[in-house]
Amino acid sequence: MKPPAILILCTGNSCRSHLAEAILRRALGESFRVESAGSKPAGYVHPLAIRALEEIGIDVTGHHSKHMDLFLNDQVETVITVCGNADQACPMFPGQMNRHHWPFDDPAHATGTEEEQFAVFRRVRDEILKVFTAYAEGRLDERRL
């Protein structure tokens, strides 16, 4: 039996939610199941999000965007929204015990040269890294008690 999921939601499931999923999955290890989805999936993972994660040693080249409805019949114990639109569109999942909303800027809306856009992806990645690493440490501490 698979463990309950921590589901990270965003609108397009192309940037922020994948950054958060990958970072949280690495921080928590095998003791938790971490997934991500969107209310209106973009159909791809943004190449600059993939590149930003590669810089910190995480490979998400096999990831794809998914609709949150795929998880309606799944055991989801925590939902974390990382954008305002997903927070408003988020349904209640059966068995859901926790819900958090931690909004981050959408790096997909960055303008300028590719390097200027990538700087925004790095900044958002680092903000997500800080928040989700702290969250993971708290969850792992709960398990130790």
pLDDT at 107: 95
Q: Domains of the chain (ranges plus CATH)?
A: 5-138 (3.40.50.2300)
The answer to whether 15 is a known catalytic residue is no
* pTM attached to this predicted model: 0.92
**Low-confidence residues of the chain: pLDDT under 70:** 1, 85-96, 145
Give the C-alpha separation, 59 to 130, whole Å. Answer: 19
Give the C-alpha separation, 112 to 30, whole Å. Answer: 39
Q: Name the active-site residue from 15, 49, 90, 136.
A: 90
Provide the residue count of the chain. 145
pLDDT tens digits for 36-70? 999 899 999 999 999 999 999 999 999 999 999 99
Strands (E), 4-96: 5-10, 33-38, 76-81
Q: Name the active-site residue from 7, 10, 53, 80.
A: 10
9, 36, 113 from 17: Cα distances, Å = 6, 6, 23
- Residue 44 CB partners (closer than 8 Å, separation 6+): 14, 64, 65
What would the two tokens of residue 10 be? 């965003």
Q: Name the active-site residue from 23, 28, 83, 129.
A: 83
The answer to whether 10 is a known catalytic residue is yes
